Structure 1
Amino acid sequence: MNYPYAPGINHIEFWVKDLAESTAFYRALFPMIGWYALNETSFSCGQHEIYFKQMPVEFCDSLGVRHICFHAISREVVDQVGAWLRGQQTNIIRGPQEMPHYHAGYYTVDFRDPNGFVLEVAFTPEARL
């Protein structure tokens, strides 16, 4: 049987406190790393989808993923994201910086989005998935 998708992530749903703030943040970030808008609240890279739903704080009692790492196609993309994050006064956890203890060439920036979710944009030329 031939399926339209390979095994992997189908979608990621984010529960957010402010839908307008979150989608504005991602509308600026995602084009830098090769993602595009599917509609007002959903984005894709052509293989995976991320969408956002505003939820009342009293319903946000579950723990989410530790972080999501988005693949960058070059170090320059990581630097561009880092510069944009500094301009947005985003909480940058680390980077842009090399992380050679992960593997040669690993270059990353880790940060928090407006909801406090930890995200990473990394160029990983030696990674084997």
Structure 2
Amino acid sequence: MDYPCGPGINHIEFWVKNLEESVRFYSELFPLIGWHALNQTSFSCGQHEIYFKEMPISFHENLGVRHVCYHATSREVVDAVGEWLRRQNADIIRGPLEMSHYSAGYYTVDFRAPNGFVLEVAFTPNARL
């Protein structure tokens, strides 16, 4: 089968408790890492799309992804995200810090989004995908 963009992830859907709070958070985070808004509830980096749907409380018990790591184009981007998170009083798990045991130059910040999702923004200059 021929795929025009090659195989990969087309989009990721997040179920959230409060759509307005989530969109406000991501509309500030994503421009820092090179993503842009497609519409009021979805964002793209040009190759992938992430969108958000508010779901009734009964859906929040479902298992999901452990965390999502967004690629940063430089250490400065990771530092900018870390500073923005501090200004937001966000729940920062670790970083910004170097984690060279993953790969040389791996620089990361890990944090929780408003719905408790664990997110990471990492500059990985020597990681092989």
TM-score normalised to structure 1 length: 0.97
Cα displacement (A) at 1:59: 1.9
SS at match of 2:61: coil
Cα displacement (A) at 1:3: 2.9
Matched, 1:93 2:93: yes
Whichever residue aligns with residue 89 of structure 1, its letter is: N
Whichever residue aligns with residue 54 of structure 1, its letter is: E
Aligned to 1:63: 63
Structural mapping, 1:1-129, within 5 Å: 2-129=2-129
Segments of 5+ residues of structure 1 without an aligned counterpart are: none
SS at match of 1:92: strand
CA–CA distance in structure 2, aligned partners of residues 40 and 21 of structure 1: 12
Moved more, 51-60 or 91-100: 51-60
Deviations 1:64-118 (A, max 9, x none): 1010000000000000000000000000000000001001100000000000000
Whichever residue aligns with residue 98 of structure 2, its letter is: E
CA–CA distance in structure 1, aligned partners of residues 83 and 49 of structure 2: 25
Whichever residue aligns with residue 95 of structure 2, its letter is: G
Cα displacement (A) at 1:2: 5.0
Runs of 4+ in 1 over 4 A off after TM superposition: none
Q: How much is the aligned-residue C-alpha RMSD, in angstroms? A: 0.9
How many residue pairs end up in the alignment? 129
CA–CA distance in structure 1, aligned partners of residues 127 and 100 of structure 2: 12
Whichever residue aligns with residue 119 of structure 2, its letter is: L
Whichever residue aligns with residue 8 of structure 2, its letter is: G
CA–CA distance in structure 1, aligned partners of residues 36 and 16 of structure 2: 19
Cα displacement (A) at 1:61: 2.1
CA–CA distance in structure 1, aligned partners of residues 123 and 41 of structure 2: 26
SS at match of 1:119: strand
Percent of residue pairs bearing the same amino acid type: 75
Segments of 5+ residues of structure 2 without an aligned counterpart are: none
SS at match of 1:68: strand
SS at match of 1:96: strand
CA–CA distance in structure 2, aligned partners of residues 6 and 44 of structure 1: 17
